[in-house]
Amino acid sequence: MSIVPYDYVAPPPGRLGSLDVSFRVSTPNGWMELNYGCYELHRDTLGVSQRAMRRTQTSNPFVPGQFTVNAVVDTVTEIVSVWVTGDTHFEMEAAVDALVGALEQPSFLIERRVTDSLRLWWCFAADVTISTQAEYLYARKALVQAQVPRLPQEQKGLA
């Protein structure tokens, strides 16, 4: 398990391409780093972000079409994909369980740092898919993919 206390200074985070990337999830025991140790971010994590609007529309029989009366940004769904590895199946399974447990909390924070850009998201329980390249019993590497709903507001800053 790779739970990192908040005041712990970790070794340099992993690299995704030529960028320094840190991706952490808050847990009751501190922060869990998802790009260090047995966890490695999959390239899909930073690829696509979806932003949708929640609209109130009206129409009437005399004017064609619909008119938007009010619109606000709706909950955003982020894709988080993480490779999980272990020297044994048991280690891999324990790391997968820890990651799934962190992503299925009712609410939690995700801190994403890319080089000197920092973003903080308030997230909610995610839908998780686990896939392996061999039968699960013999696997030592798994891909955990989660669709994480988050509030549209995000805290931005310099790391």
Flag the least confident range among 32-36, 69-73, 95-99: 69-73
Q: What is the pLDDT of residue 136?
A: 63
How distant, in Å, are the alpha carbons of 122, 124, 144 from that of 138?
36, 32, 17
Domain range annotation of the chain: 3-50+76-158
pLDDT at 5 over 70: no
151 with 122: CB under 8 angstroms?
yes
How distant, in Å, are the alpha carbons of 37, 110, 124 from that of 79?
21, 12, 13
The model's pLDDT over 20-30, given as tens digits with 9 standing for 90+, comes to 788 999 999 99
Q: Provide the b/e sequence for 84-107 (b: ≥16 CB within 10 Å).
A: bebeebeebbebbebbeebbebee
pLDDT, greater one: 73 or 50: 73
Mention the CATH class of domain 3-50+76-158.
mainly beta
Share of the chain above pLDDT 70, in %: 86
pLDDT at 39 over 80: yes
pLDDT, greater one: 155 or 48: 155
pTM exceeds 0.85, yes or no: no
Q: What is the pLDDT of residue 18?
A: 56
